[in-house]
Amino acid sequence: MVLARAEVSRTPRAAKVRAHAVRLGLMALPLAFFGLFFAWPVAAIVGRGLRVDGVWQLGRIIEVITEPDIGHVLWFTTWQALASTALTLLIALPGAYVFARLDFPGRHLLRAVVTVPFVLPTVVVGTAFLALLGRGGLLDELWGVRLDTTVWAILLAHVFFNYAVVVRTVGGLWAQLDPRQEEAARVLGASRLAAWRTVTLPALGPAVAAAA
């Protein structure tokens, strides 16, 4: 009887150990891939740039960061990334609402179509944008407008690529929210915008942050 109880008590522990070993085994492959194709090349590049004749030159980091050309690139990258994020959220949140709250014919097909830009090759998208925004493009022929030499081409391309990210991420959570909470706020006197801002938006906060 005592041996049987001991055997039973050891069984869950053994199962946990096996499950933990399986998880570690499943993590080994992606970790090895990350280390071989990302961490090692980055470390090798940094080492070549900061180590001269076997001596580390850490002062070069400050030299590079304070270089005017590098500073310009960093500033441009930062502000256009923030602008792209804000513009994408502004344009994609209404789309997330449509797919989460409205039911209409062809909804699932349209949802699949929205995902297509995210998986298109970058070269294809760049060529299409040049045909639309560049010299001799559709906008140039119709209204004489060219955006290929402005930052708007970058912002619109980012919106095009990341629209699906916001729609899928935010829309997935939005569809699971109980609409009666927002309706209750409307019954208590809140406007549609106020009810969305005080009830729905805070609930969508994690999904919006993840998409951003």
Q: What is the pLDDT of residues 128-140, one digit of tens each?
A: 888 888 888 888 7
Specify the pTM: 0.70
The answer to whether residue 8 scores a pLDDT higher than 60 is no
pLDDT of residue 3: 45
> What are 181-197's pLDDT values in tens digits?
888 888 888 888 888 88
Buried b (16+ CB within 10 A) or exposed e, 79-117: eeeeebbebbbeebbebbbbbbeeeeeeeeeebeebeeb
Q: What would the pLDDT profile of 78-87 be if each residue is shown by its tens digit?
A: 999 999 999 9
* CATH no. of 67-122+149-211: 1.10.3720.10
For residue range 146-156, list pLDDT tens digits in order: 888 888 888 99
